[in-house]
Amino acid sequence: MYQKFDVVIVGAGGSGLMAAMQLPNASVAVLTKVYPTRSHTGAAQGGVAAALGNKEEDHWKWHMYDTVKGGDYLVDQTAAEVLAREAIDAVYELEHRGLPFNRTKDGRIDQRRFGGHTRNFGEGPVMRSCYAADRTGHMILQTMYQNAIKNQVRFFNEYLVLDLLINDGRACGVVAMEIRSGEIHTFHAKAVLFATGGYGRAWRVTSNAFACMGDGMAIAYRRGIPLQDMEMYQFHPTGLYKVGVLLSEAARGEGGKLLNGKGEYFMERYMPTMKDLAPRDIVSRCIIQEIKEGRGVKGNGIVGDDYVYLDVRHLGAKTIAEKLPDITDFARNYLGVEPLTEPVPIQPTAHYAMGGIPTDIDGRVVLDADWTPMPGFYAAGEVACVSVHGANRLGTNSLVDLIVFGRRAGKHMAKFIQENDFVPLPSEPEGFSRELVSRLLTSTGGESAANVRSTLQNEMNDKVYVEREEKGLRTALDTIDGLQDAYRRIQLQDKGKNFNTELMEAIELGFLLDCAEATVHGALARQESRGAHFRLDYPKRDDANWLKHTLAYRGSKAHDVRLEYKDVILIDDPIFKPKERKY
Ligand SMILES: Cc1cc2nc3c(=O)[nH]c(=O)nc-3n(C[C@H](O)[C@H](O)[C@H](O)COP(=O)(O)OP(=O)(O)OC[C@H]3O[C@@H](n4cnc5c(N)ncnc54)[C@H](O)[C@@H]3O)c2cc1C
């Protein structure tokens, strides 16, 4: 079926919906593979950062400084400035659209502490995170979805986008499969925004929803668009042991502490100033260090199955019930642990992609180190890399990225569609997608998708985790090469058209493999340690050689990856000059 809209937005998470809000006079379609309010944004617990200064003095420049330093200087500083400055207005926009934030006694938006956010350029923690209990993302989605319905945005729920259409160097639409019927649809548009989220499912232990399979990144990558800084993948220190479900940093913001197997609050030893609220990459490494030095708690003896605890017992029942209701329930429901009386077993969990499709500060996708834009193609949110998070994202800085850059992309598209007409579709627009589907439905290769997926997830968890080294990365690369071959032999049991979830999962698995491939290539090449990318064989940051972004391009076939590099944008202000990162 053929449909035509001014703008097609793929993804109904915070970034997609925020963009949709900016297009009141356009015809807008939002395509989403899950029901909009089930997007992963709904799982965000902790809050959204903005220097409102409601609880104590704060400034956007302090926020910018923390973002740049937290990202271990792989941050484009002009983008970080936009993030920190516009965060304030974007949060007020959410408030005015009806988001029920927690309030201070005098009725303003309440704020709390979060890892890495400081006052006066690193002096000590500051209250910057605006929140709605531990359900901030849920509230963002509900509020924005209602606003989108009010604004007549057309939703295509349970449509799986398979391909980006490009003609004459311009994006002009997408092809999607309607999950209910298996029917293929072409959406013709003047502008396309990818807001498809991350790819945490590439790891065995992850905080990410089942839908976080890297779709948008892989679709772009297959069409010759590079992926930037994919080796920069964040492991959140406090995932529930084994299941990976997130216990938000809000628990530590409220005073929760990490405890080792010997009953010591160990973060004080590593980070005397920020303690448990040091940035995530550092806290994750401290946990691994405790475990390596024999102060973890033994799991069931499988390598990597040791853990430490998150202790919130001292916060008391009232604070826990008011500020951390959901995450304490997770501990009860998934592990049978009572956080009021017992410490909760935790381990670092795959959480957030700092890398993704490279964009400029207006959400325009750029194709190379010279910032050449692809007209009509935009990306925002976790799928994008506008490079505000650099090598490590601070907590609460993703939700703000979604609303600031989702909004900017939406506003830019509003202008673009006024100034540009439709370009014709390429010939046989559905060819690639139909072939992808029919190959999977007709294959008799005998390979199981579940097998390919679990091998990938185990390999990534074992070798592309908090600490990396050349040998492990090379092995992981060989494994992924083998899995790309195995993928072509996947055979499905269900050959039907209606709600063929086996087919859908196999398609998504292909996306995941491509994202993992770019991640490992980037990680192997980057011979330094920076932010979330810690190389045991190159433990120091190396600004002389590596203060640059990785661009991974897919070659003519699956295993063939070409890496190029792009300068990091620094501004001329001594306070933002790359320094050693000590807290
Ligand atoms: C458990 C958890 C807690 C978090 N807590 C916080 C927090 O407190 N503060 C913070 O700042 N950040 C937090 N984050 C990070 C943040 O929530 C995410 O980075 C962010 O919500 C991603 O939003 P998004 O709009 O980019 O995409 P998502 O919300 O992931 O939405 C992706 C959308 O794309 C659609 N989609 C994907 N692929 C396709 C396809 N092929 N076809 C059609 N549709 C597709 C999906 O259906 C969905 O609608 C948290 C993340 C997790 C996992």
Average pLDDT over residues 461-465: 95
CA distances from 177 to 162, 286, 398, 497 (A): 7, 45, 29, 10
What's the gap between Cα 527 and its chain centre? 24
* pLDDT tens readout for residues 502-517: 999 999 999 999 999 9
Which of 487, 454, 491 lies closest to 218 in space, CA to CA?
487
Question: 352 in ligand 1 pocket by Cβ < 6 Å?
Answer: yes
Going along 407-556, which residue ranges are E strands? Answer: 467-468, 534-535, 548-554
Average pLDDT over residues 371-400: 97
Average pLDDT over residues 234-244: 94
Q: What is the CATH number of domain 238-348?
A: 3.90.700.10
Residues 6+ apart with CB under 8 A from 389: 67, 71, 75, 232, 352, 354, 397, 398, 401
**486 CA distance to ligand 1 centroid (A)?**
29
Q: Is 85 one of the annotated binding-site residues?
A: no
Q: Where are the domains of the chain?
A: 238-348, 431-547
Tokens for 581, please give them: 């990162």
CA 554/CA 312 separation, integer angstroms: 46
* pLDDT tens readout for residues 171-189: 999 999 999 999 999 999 9
**32 CA distance to ligand 1 centroid (A)?**
12
pLDDT(302) > 70: no
**Residue nearest ligand 1's atom 4 by CA:** 44
pLDDT at 573: 95
Tell me the longest C-alpha to C-alpha distance in the chain. 67
**36 CA distance to ligand 1 centroid (A)?**
11
pLDDT at 117: 94
Average pLDDT over residues 275-293: 91
Q: Is 280 a catalytic residue?
A: yes
pLDDT(317) > 70: yes
pLDDT(332) > 60: yes
pLDDT(301) > 90: no
Q: Is 384 one of the annotated binding-site residues?
A: no
pLDDT at 84: 98
pLDDT at 551: 98
Q: Look at the block and give the residue holding tokens 């405890």.
A: 259
Question: 246 in ligand 1 pocket by Cβ < 6 Å?
Answer: yes
pLDDT at 300: 66
**211 CA distance to ligand 1 centroid (A)?**
9
Q: Is 351 one of the annotated binding-site residues?
A: yes
* pLDDT tens readout for residues 335-353: 999 999 999 999 999 999 9
What's the one-letter identity of residue 425?
L
Question: 32 in ligand 1 pocket by Cβ < 6 Å?
Answer: yes
User: What atom in ligand 1 is closest to the CA of residue 380?
Assistant: 26
Q: Which of 280, 408, 530, 535 is catalytic?
A: 280
pLDDT(303) > 90: no
Q: Is 382 one of the annotated binding-site residues?
A: yes
Q: Is 437 one of the annotated binding-site residues?
A: no
Q: For residue 371, count CB atoms less than 10 angstroms from its CB and return exposed for 0-12, middle for 13-18, buried for 19 or more.
A: middle
pLDDT(18) > 90: yes
pTM, 2 dp: 0.96
pLDDT(327) > 70: yes
Q: What is the mean pLDDT of the chain?
A: 95
**13 CA distance to ligand 1 centroid (A)?**
6
Pocket test for ligand 1, best of 39, 243, 437 (most atoms within 8 A of CB): 39
User: What atom in ligand 1 is closest to the CA of residue 34?
Assistant: 47
pLDDT at 61: 98
Asked if residue 552 lies in contact with residue 521, where contact means CB atoms within 8 angstroms, the answer is: yes
Question: 376 in ligand 1 pocket by Cβ < 6 Å?
Answer: no
pLDDT(89) > 90: yes
Residues 6+ apart with CB under 8 A from 194: 10, 11, 164, 216, 219, 220, 357, 365, 377, 378, 379, 380, 383, 384
CATH 1.20.58.100 is right for the domain spanning 431-547: yes
pLDDT at 544: 97
